[in-house]
Structure 1
Amino acid sequence: MNYNFNLSLIENYKSNSQKIRVMSETWLAENVYCPYCGNSHLSKFANNKPVADFYCDSCGEVFELKAKENNIGKKITDGAYSTMIERITSISNPDLFVMQYTKEYQVLNLLVVPKFFFTPEIIEKRKPLSENARRAGWIGCNILISDIPKQGKIFIVDRQHLRNKEDVINDYKLIKNMQTNNINNRGWLFDVLNCINEIPDKEFKLNDVYRFIEVLKEKHINNNHIEAKIRQQLQLLRDKGYIEFLERGHYRKINL
């Protein structure tokens, strides 16, 4: 695979953001398949499409692309905060492609985050633009990519290593079992999943998860029954096939 951006595409552009958008979108359209159904081609929406950048004409899945130079880091800049929250709480939210490119304009990493991993808690509201700005008062947002569980970040290209297509599709199918349309339940499920991911051993005890009670209290300040919610999410993860119940208060990771 050729990981280089096509620099000839940007000869008539002055804005750096426009240059990156044109080169990254063209590269993805020419090289990337649908990670959901495996269709070899993704089609590009018109530039004025407000929700997404690409769609699969086989399964209908839609995708947005965000590209960053060097490290992806902890957060990714996105558009209007209110629009993003509205998208997350509706059925219109697209999957997210996150592309990391080098200063030499080469694709280094490409991952996809399924839409059902988005919760309001991972959307950070930015300060309103100043009264002197052209869009005074406009409020943007950041996607806190580091708060998304690792299971929701499926690599297609990993440090210029192209993963096997079937492995990517299987990863997506496996994690789709995590999908829930209840936003509050989704937030709790993924917060507890992040806690379990922090436990280094394959087998763990209920008390190992209870060590994250204060962390969860900060995220869910209106809930006074944190321990009960933890146990509830462990049961859900068991039912979805991601952990195994061994005995009272004792679990084993399966697909984590």
Structure 2
Amino acid sequence: MFSTIISSYPEVCEERLPMNVLSQYKSATQRARVFSESWIEKNFKCPQCSDALQRMPNNTRALDFLCRTCAQGFELKSKRGAFGPTVPDGAYASMLSRIRSGRDTNLILLGYTEDYVTRSVVAIPNRFLIEEIIIPRKPLGEHCRRAGWQGCNINIGLLPPEGRIVCVQNFVAVPQDEIRENWKSTAFLEDGNAVSRSWLAVTMGIVSRMKTESFSLADVYNAEKELARLFPNNRSIKAKVRQQLQILRDRGWLSFLGNGRYAINPHQGGFVS
């Protein structure tokens, strides 16, 4: 039986999608697309302004929905089951071009059950879609129809929880005002250029993965090799780390405890840990 859930707050109720709507599609990919697009159009609200989203024409590149009020664009990806730390995406070169030009859209990741019930929805603000989390895949071989084409994966596992905002979790919707507050909490990342945004997002991810109440500057230095790999053109990793921690402190994401120790300021729910 095909079904969806409606994001009514605070409860979640079910709405049945007529069987004949999906059964006319033989491809599982097509059924997933029809189901997920219908669910988002009917139930999902813009994380920034809470208005409804408008579905864009088919084959609009990297843009599936547009907010009618604040013009935020969204690309939808759906999967039966849960998304892992990496999310398949399209052409590697196109993805890098959109990021570098500041034209990339936000992501919506929708996970559903075998009988087409929405289990989870996570929104990823485009401010967290940085070049360092885009992983190139092996180009298609010469015998393939699109020989030489190179796709990519998005390593969302490198992001901090604030970069993966929960909208529906275990079939239950998060209140819209909470989603909106979580979305706006990292708007400061948009103040800088692509390079500064990358450094802040990666540093936030490293700190978040420590999963401790407080940490020292030396703890972050332990990630020097990872940072050198992600930012090969930087020759002053430790100095850059100190700069990022100071910025995150000034932005209120961190608190300085003294003696070289910091703590992440508490946030109210809504993030994927």
**TM value normalised by structure 1:** 0.93
SS of 1:89 mapped into structure 2? helix
Shift of residue 28 of structure 1?
A: 0.9
Of 55, 59, 78, the residue aligned with 1:67 is 78
CA distance in 2, matches of 1:11, 1:70: 20
User: What's the counterpart of residue 4 of structure 2?
Assistant: none
User: What's the counterpart of residue 193 of structure 1?
Assistant: 204
SS of 1:2 mapped into structure 2? strand
Asked if the contact 1:3–1:106 (Cα under 8 Å) also holds between the matched residues in 2, the reply is no
Asked if the contact 2:120–2:169 (Cα under 8 Å) also holds between the matched residues in 1, the reply is yes
User: What's the counterpart of residue 48 of structure 2?
Assistant: 36
Shift of residue 179 of structure 1?
A: 2.5
Shift of residue 190 of structure 1?
A: 1.5
| Amino acid aligned to 2:112 | Y
Asked if the contact 2:160–2:206 (Cα under 8 Å) also holds between the matched residues in 1, the reply is no
User: What's the counterpart of residue 5 of structure 2?
Assistant: none
SS of 2:173 mapped into structure 1? coil
Gaps of 5+ in 1: none
CA distance in 1, matches of 2:234, 2:15: 47
SS of 1:157 mapped into structure 2? strand
| Amino acid aligned to 1:35 | P
Shift of residue 71 of structure 1?
A: 2.2
User: What's the counterpart of residue 233 of structure 2?
Assistant: 222
CA distance in 2, matches of 1:3, 1:210: 50
Pair 1:193–1:44, CA change in 2 (3 A): same
Instruction: Kindly report the root-mean-square deviation, in angstroms, between the aligned alpha carbons of the 2 structures.
Output: 1.7
Asked if the contact 2:159–2:204 (Cα under 8 Å) also holds between the matched residues in 1, the reply is no
Of 153, 162, 167, the residue aligned with 2:173 is 162
Summarize the alignment of residues 106-125 of structure 1 with structure 2, pairs less than 5 Å apart: 106-125=117-136
| Amino acid aligned to 1:155 | V
CA distance in 2, matches of 1:113, 1:89: 17
Asked if the contact 1:7–1:23 (Cα under 8 Å) also holds between the matched residues in 2, the reply is no
Asked if the contact 1:3–1:160 (Cα under 8 Å) also holds between the matched residues in 2, the reply is no
Which sits farther off after the overlay, 27-36 or 199-208? 199-208
Gaps of 5+ in 2: 1-12, 268-273
Of 210, 217, 225, the residue aligned with 2:221 is 210
Asked if the contact 2:98–2:104 (Cα under 8 Å) also holds between the matched residues in 1, the reply is yes
Asked if the contact 2:111–2:120 (Cα under 8 Å) also holds between the matched residues in 1, the reply is yes
Shift of residue 16 of structure 1?
A: 1.9
Spell out, residue by residue over 1:152-192, the C-alpha distance to the aligned partner (whole angstroms, 9 max, x if none): 10000011111111111111111222324422212211221
Of 51, 75, 87, the residue aligned with 2:62 is 51
| Amino acid aligned to 1:197 | S
Shift of residue 5 of structure 1?
A: 5.6
CA distance in 2, matches of 1:97, 1:192: 23
Matched, 1:19 2:28: no
Of 62, 70, 93, the residue aligned with 1:82 is 93
Asked if the contact 1:206–1:250 (Cα under 8 Å) also holds between the matched residues in 2, the reply is yes
Spell out, residue by residue over 1:93-131, the C-alpha distance to the aligned partner (whole angstroms, 9 max, x if none): 111000111122211110100001011111111111122
Percent sequence identity is: 36
Shift of residue 235 of structure 1?
A: 0.9
Asked if the contact 1:51–1:92 (Cα under 8 Å) also holds between the matched residues in 2, the reply is no
CA distance in 1, matches of 2:15, 2:170: 10
CA distance in 1, matches of 2:98, 2:232: 24
Spell out, residue by residue over 1:72-100, the C-alpha distance to the aligned partner (whole angstroms, 9 max, x if none): 01211111111111111123211100011
Matched, 1:238 2:249: yes
User: What's the counterpart of residue 194 of structure 2?
Assistant: 183
| Amino acid aligned to 2:190 | Q
Aligned length: 255
User: What's the counterpart of residue 151 of structure 2?
Assistant: 140
SS of 2:114 mapped into structure 1? coil
